[in-house]
Amino acid sequence: MTNQSPDRQKHWRKVFQTKAADSVSWYRRHLNVSLELLELAGLSVQSRLIDIGGGASTLVDDLLDRGLVGVTVLDISAEALAIPQARLGERAHEVSWIVGDVLHAGLPAGGFDFWHDRAVFHFLTDPADAARYAQQAALAVKPGGHAVIGGFAPDGPERCTGLPVARRSAEDIARILAPVFSLQETRAERHLTPAGAVQPFAYALLKRR
């Protein structure tokens, strides 16, 4: 596999050691498109959700504000996870935190109703890595559950934080996760970075068969 786990971990540790959480290109105050798709798929206070590469994202805050009690955040960088943990204070104890690479993490079979990923999958440019990611999602999401996956669209940037990315449409995402998942909805987003650049994103809402 390209970009082996130790290299990925070293890269992302450096990013969060040297950059403010609200200055990285993917930062958004609220992940409105993700929240819309999650709610469309039936997100509830009882839902068990894993946020892949959640890092410093504020999605966990918004989920806790909605009353969810089964939230897990996975990130390859402990430095990234320390940011929401500090921000949430005592509420951080309501969340399960996993430091690990999504390709190798020991996730529970059928352990989640929802799989969320904004801007991790597009870093998996090796087809073998993408296939392994699909296997992990298929394992972790229960039958009838859902995945919301967003990343750079076909007209999006070719690189991010110095790394190449795979630009995919929602249909491209769905093809990689098929036949275990089927495409339910798509969304497009023109994300404005903190520096003022526009980045086209594509989102797929998928249902686990």
Q: Where are the domains of the chain?
A: 5-208
The length of the chain in residues reads: 209
DSSP 8-state code for residue 124: -
Q: What is the pLDDT of residue 6?
A: 64
| Nearest-angstrom CA–CA distance, 79 and 172 | 31
**Across all residues in the chain, what is the average pLDDT?**
93
Coil/strand/helix, residue 157:
coil
Q: Give CA–CA dist 27/59, Å, rounded.
A: 11
Neighbours of 142 (CB within 10 A): 15
- CATH for the stretch 5-208: 3.40.50.150
Name the helix (H) or strand (E) containing 206.
Answer: strand 198-208
Residue in the block written with tokens 């070293």: 10
Residue pLDDT, tens place only, 146-199:
999 999 999 999 999 889 999 999 999 999 999 999 999 999 999 999 899 999
pLDDT single digits (tens) 11-64: 777 777 777 777 777 789 899 999 999 999 999 999 999 999 998 899 999 999
- The percent of residues above 90 in pLDDT, for the chain, comes to 84
Q: Which letter does DSSP use for residue 123 in this model?
A: G
Within 10 Å of residue 43's Cβ, how many Cβ atoms? 20
**pLDDT 10s digits, 86-139:** 999 999 999 999 999 999 999 999 999 999 999 999 999 999 999 999 999 999
Pairing, β 141-152 against β 112-118: parallel
Cα separation, 77 vs 137, whole angstroms: 20
Burial 57-80 (b: 16+ CB within 10 A, else e): bbbbbbbbeeebebbbbbbbbebb
C-beta separation of 72 from 49 below 8 A = yes
CA 24/CA 15 separation, integer angstroms: 9
* 10 confidence band (pLDDT: 50, 70, 90): confident
Q: Is the pLDDT of residue 4 over 50?
A: no
pLDDT of residue 116: 98
Place of tokens 């805050």: 61
